[in-house]
Structure 1
């Protein structure tokens, strides 16, 4: 009986009945050796054979799951040990002592053979929730659980900590239905961080795209991550991975030789011998290169098929649409995703910019993508801290930023509405600090964003002043209500659910310590409970209106803007407005025909009497003037206090 061997075009380590086939794409090499590592022994060194067109293969009998391997290649006259770009597990230390040398490479570049068929998914399937019904919670695997007192020490800061009984109870209590994990693929810290005994805590310096980071596992990163995803799915929680395909940890000129620089230099955008740096990290992946496109697509499919992830958030995604110095929304990568029977079905979220030329591309991604909407972040922060003339733009953002995201393509092409992301202030710091305080990063407080649109309300940092605490809490409610009840998909930092402060650090990328780790002992329970209640109400209300305003249905509904006294807003009045109300009434073509949502905003310092439209049974579901969550029945003239956001629905939908 003949043995069925994997195709030599299937890259990586492929197990088969009699052993394993190792395949590497290395068109820049004239000779490649496979190294098989055995504990306490020198590696077994086996010559690989070039099958054709840069594909190097070697079959080895009796190789089993767990075998460590790497490749020996030549670069600039030196012998280097390099990692398999298709490796699905790594065992080498994810650190080194700068400068990176060929002798250190023999330890770092160790990969491991994996058999994905061994894991039991127990019949658990993905929730497959629509993007309009999703509230995304962004979190760091380690930072979420490292300091949780009710999680077993062996699981704190690890994949399994995500699904500990304490965390599963927390998700349920706070109505969390989607986790977006900061990068969990293997990364290496940048040389300047290693020189300072720091690390890239966020994980945005990718080393091996297909391998989960072993630092978040007790023993087995592959199976422990799968277990976490399976149990999250069992509890109706989706998992989105933040992925980085715009650059790698090889960096720019002088960076370490990890794989692509020696194997296939065409993976990176170049001008002669100079690497392009459209990412701020030294190099830029050239997605036009067939090998780069194949690697990214194969990686994405692996995470969906072998780990059952529900979607991806693409860091600096404008790079993936680059045609050199320009952006092309019709490039091969976007077309490949759109026609792929696996990838076209998952959630695709773009961070729609990079730092290169023509790098800001908000609203320009294909219609099957959602996009991070920085416009609502900026205008919401500006509005609530009291900048004049902001309400007109805020009204546009509230209605789904349809000047950028046409409702004709909803609900697929929705804005991801956020106030805070990992890169920036937490919400507590937005209302506590007027300036960044990044001294702990070792860059003389010159790193991080300078335009934070934050305010401290009288004291820089923590305070015991009850008046300052009161206005800070109200401003937090205002900003969170603004994204929860705007049309789009809300994105919330898990840190903000707890009221976590990073001590004014708005670029804590290298802070693997309590600056970043969530402090469960100081959780603001009153705030968490208010936010959890608003999330529940958002989920019951907003998706109906997104649905009604999507596609051709959008033409059959009515949106009315009024002054607080009920008079219509005229065009010339918009620039000077500080308070107004918006009523959306669903038309006859929708199943909820005749029902209405009313949102009233007072960004000024003067209270107003809000005249509610007659002939409705209005119910107050959100009033940021208080942390009370009781559903109330308003008077015909409802008090709209200064600096407040009010949401009413017609009838009882909750």
Structure 2
């Protein structure tokens, strides 16, 4: 290439085409020089190398006229290879631009991606001179992006949000009504059959497992497996190509627009706590070779090694200004250009770590909340990592919702029959106020779940007492031990009708508890149709029928049940209040906003470790309009005993009667009939919901 490279500008990192040429800018505080490498259209031949001619502070940059969208490129960054000082520069390794919008090619030949010689006795202190360019994807110059129209974004009421966690591929791979060419693709996710299904369930928000470009771990490739979940990011601006359909990269944005037209938000599970480069024995793909000492948190005094608060081998140094800038730029890109509506932050505790530990007012959270774009989107934290003080449930800023694993474990333990679990469930049903009721946080801060991608599916919670993960190739040692599940006497599938009936009822009870609790409910994709993973509670590497949702054997009655729960929750504002309930007396009528009763109408004995039944009267808090305060009153009755039990119903106020809205003891769980007696038989292992209605209604 004979065209001289001009100085360009450091203002925008990445490669940006202006109509006549492209500006390239790369952050590296510790590099000695940076080479920009261009490749043939098939990515196989390196056609030229040019030094970035200018450095402005830690940003290397240059402008090259005539470089147009579609050009393939990568970087070779020169500097010291001194792992003991935290530096791992190796210009023999072609590096992905952290800001690239698209990649071409795949990672291959794992040994050639390493910056050191794997067989050398010195390990990562050795130096690998083999060129990795033939074995890595190339960055791509793309055309200038237009912003997605913000006017098309659905904005569901905060108290009506219902989240559906799904895998971009696995949700549709086995759906018979979706054309084969669209199965497993972004377009397939927003196809008519899926949109109709989600709308029937009342879903307002679909939460996608990671779709940032990611890498299959070397140890999985050796076993013939793949990283299915995608928590191994390398391209924070790149939609994962393996989910491309006929429209390629444009299919992602088209998917978001179709969801928006259907009234459904799209939020992404994002992984900014670590990268795919792993620990000190991992490959050199991008960040490690660009500026290892800046991008990663290194062990103090032993900079050869990485802080591993994430359990994945490395931890991004989010407190570094240019790393934070990368993350914020990435988030804005997905909102402004790709049109998404929010984010669930994987291992979010890591993002709040400063030198003194986790800080809810740390730099990243401050930057996120003051950003004029990002401050307006939905934010959800996974409130833990494995580092010191890593469990931070309830400690995130008020703008965040948080995954509440205490809700998951407590709900499972209660229905399994564990001691002391009823007391814990009572707190969960009211939104886990002990964790979240501080600093003016709304009751929806608790994102309630009984299942998620990580763990048993709902069907497997009722089929397996133990994990069955041998297919993962780790001798069954991986995955959670504490599943709080129940197989009803038979491990796995059973054709015993009694066992089947008990399992179905347990699923209905778990789901009912989820939808009847204060907070924001989240449903795992496939739970509503009875999807099983054959007892695998860690299907992160099962890109096959184990990990995919099985639509062929869908349980239609369960779909109808979930749809009914969604309608019930939407119909009664007392189930989704924005304020926490503590039994405060309402000024309008002198009645408490919440009241606990046993089945005899008396106060509960909270000291009983075996407490297994309880009633809960929910009334609209002071925020509820006076004319709705009576109509929004509900009586919830929980009976986990095996036996049927009589319950004395509270006397309704004058002019009103109790109306049965839900009874999980039967598949037809929404009878909607008036209760004329002051007593009611509550069947064993069931949840009953009664609502006040005008006396003349029958």
TM-score normalized with structure 2 length? 0.89
The answer as to 2:24 corresponding to 1:22 is yes
Counterpart-to-counterpart distance in 1, 2:638 and 2:343: 34
Contact between 1:35 and 1:45, CA under 8 Å: does it hold in 2? Answer: yes
Query: Would you say 1:172 and 2:199 are equivalent positions?
Result: yes
Residue aligning to 1:56: 60
Match of 2:679 in 1: 637
Q: Aligned to 1:168, what secondary structure does the other structure show?
A: helix
Query: Which string of whole-angstrom CA distances, capped at 9 and with x for unpartnered residues, describes residues 149-193 of structure 1?
Result: 221221110000012222122222222221100000100011111
Q: Is the 8 A contact 1:623 1:644 kept in 2?
A: yes
Q: Which residue of 1 aligns with 2:650?
A: 613
Contact 1:607 1:641 in 2 (8 A): yes
Deviates more, 1:413-422 or 1:45-54: 45-54
Separation in 2 of the partners of 1:306 and 1:422?
27
Give deviations 1:52-92, integer Å, cap 9, x for gaps: 11211121223333222211223635522100011111112
Q: Give the CA RMSD over aligned residues.
A: 2.4
Deviations 1:441-496 (A, max 9, x none): 00000000011111100111001100000000000011111111100011111120
Q: Separation in 2 of the partners of 1:432 and 1:412?
A: 33
Q: What residue is the counterpart of 2:617 in the other structure?
A: 583
Q: C-alpha distance in 2, partners of 1:160/1:207?
A: 23
**Is contact 1:131–1:412 with CA below 8 Å preserved after alignment?**
no
Q: Which residue of 2 aligns with 1:253?
A: 280
Counterparts of 2:673 and 2:22 in 1: how far apart (Å)? 66
Q: Does 1:566 align with 2:593?
A: no
Q: Is the 8 A contact 1:213 1:221 kept in 2?
A: no
The answer as to whether partners of 1:28 and 1:262 remain within 8 angstroms in 2 is no
8 Å CA contact 1:200–1:509 kept in 2: the answer is yes
Residue by residue over 1:94-117, the C-alpha shift from the partner in whole angstroms, topping out at 9 and shown as x without a partner, is 454345255334441411122353
Mapped to 2, the partners of 1:188 and 1:198 lie a distance apart of: 12
1:297: which partner in 2?
Answer: 328
Question: Structure 1: 5+ residue runs without aligned partners?
Answer: none
Residue aligning to 2:189: 162
Structure 2: give runs of 5+ residues left out of the alignment: 1-6, 82-89, 115-129
The CA deviation at 1:219 is 5.1
Deviates more, 1:184-193 or 1:594-603: 594-603
Distance 1:567 1:554 in 2: 18
CA–CA separation in structure 2 for the residues paired with 1:334 and 1:437? 39
Residue of 589, 613, 625 corresponding to 2:665:
625
| More off after superposition, 478-487 vs 93-102 | 93-102
Q: Is residue 425 of structure 2 the alignment partner of residue 394 of structure 1?
A: yes
Is 1:279–2:310 an aligned residue pair? yes
Contact 1:29/1:262 (8 A) holds in 2? no
Tell me how far 1:209 sits from its aligned partner.
Answer: 0.9
Counterpart of 1:418 (choices 433, 439, 449) is 449
Q: Is the 8 A contact 1:559 1:583 kept in 2?
A: yes
Is 1:312 the counterpart of 2:347? The answer is no
Alignment map for 1:106-145 (pairs within 5 Å): 106-115=134-143, 117=145, 125-145=152-172
Within 2, Cα distance between the matches of 1:499 and 1:356? 35
Q: Deviations for 1:579-621, whole angstroms, at most 9, x for unmatched residues?
A: 1101022256521223312111112223221222212432222
Provide the rounded CA distance (Å) in 1 between the counterparts of 2:574 and 2:11.
45
- Equivalent position SS for 1:282: coil
CA contact (8 A) 2:431 2:580 kept: no
Larger CA deviation: 485-494 vs 620-629 = 620-629
| Residues 460 and 532 in structure 2, CA contact (< 8 A), matched pair in contact too | yes
CA contact (8 A) 1:133 1:543 kept: no
3-state DSSP class of the match of 2:564?
helix
Secondary structure of the structure 1 residue equivalent to 2:152: coil
1:280 CA drift (Å):
1.0
1:371–1:413 CA contact under 8 A, matched in 2: no
Measured against aligned partners, the alpha-carbon deviations of 1:182-223 in whole angstroms (never above 9, x if no partner) come to 000100011111111211100000111111001100355431
Quick one: distance in 1 between partners of 2:429 and 2:341? 27
Aligned partners of 1:430 and 1:452 also within 8 Å? yes
Instruction: String of CA shifts for 1:15-66, please: whole Å, max 9, x gaps.
Output: 2131211111122211111122222653232221233112111212233332
Query: Is the 8 Å Cα contact of residues 81 and 109 (structure 1) preserved in structure 2?
Result: no
Tell me the SS of whatever aligns to 1:294. Answer: helix
Which of 295, 313, 322 pairs up with 1:267? 295
Provide closer, same or farther for how the CA distance between residues 408 and 24 of structure 1 changes in structure 2, counting only shifts above 3 A.
Answer: closer
**Structure-1 residue corresponding to 2:232:** 205
Distance 2:465 2:446 in 1: 28
* 8 Å CA contact 1:116, 1:306 repeated in 2: no
Q: Is 2:180 the counterpart of 1:153? A: yes
293-302 or 426-435: bigger deviation:
293-302
* C-alpha distance in structure 1 between counterparts of 2:572 and 2:685, whole Å: 23
Is 1:45 the counterpart of 2:49 in the alignment? yes
Deviation per CA, 1:384-403: give whole Å up to 9, x if none.
Answer: 01112211111010010001
On the 8 A contact 2:398/2:439 being kept in 1, the answer is: no
Contact 1:212 1:225 (C-alpha < 8 Å) held by counterparts: yes
Q: Could you tell me how far 1:314 is from its partner in structure 2?
A: 0.6
**Greater Rg by CA:** 2
* CA separation of 1:408 and 1:48: change in aligned 2, threshold 3 A: closer
Residue equivalent to 1:535: 566
Aligned residue pair count: 648
**TM-score, normalization: structure 1?**
0.94
**What's the counterpart of residue 86 of structure 1?**
99
> CA 1:106–1:26 in structure 2 vs 1: closer, same or farther (change >3 Å)?
farther
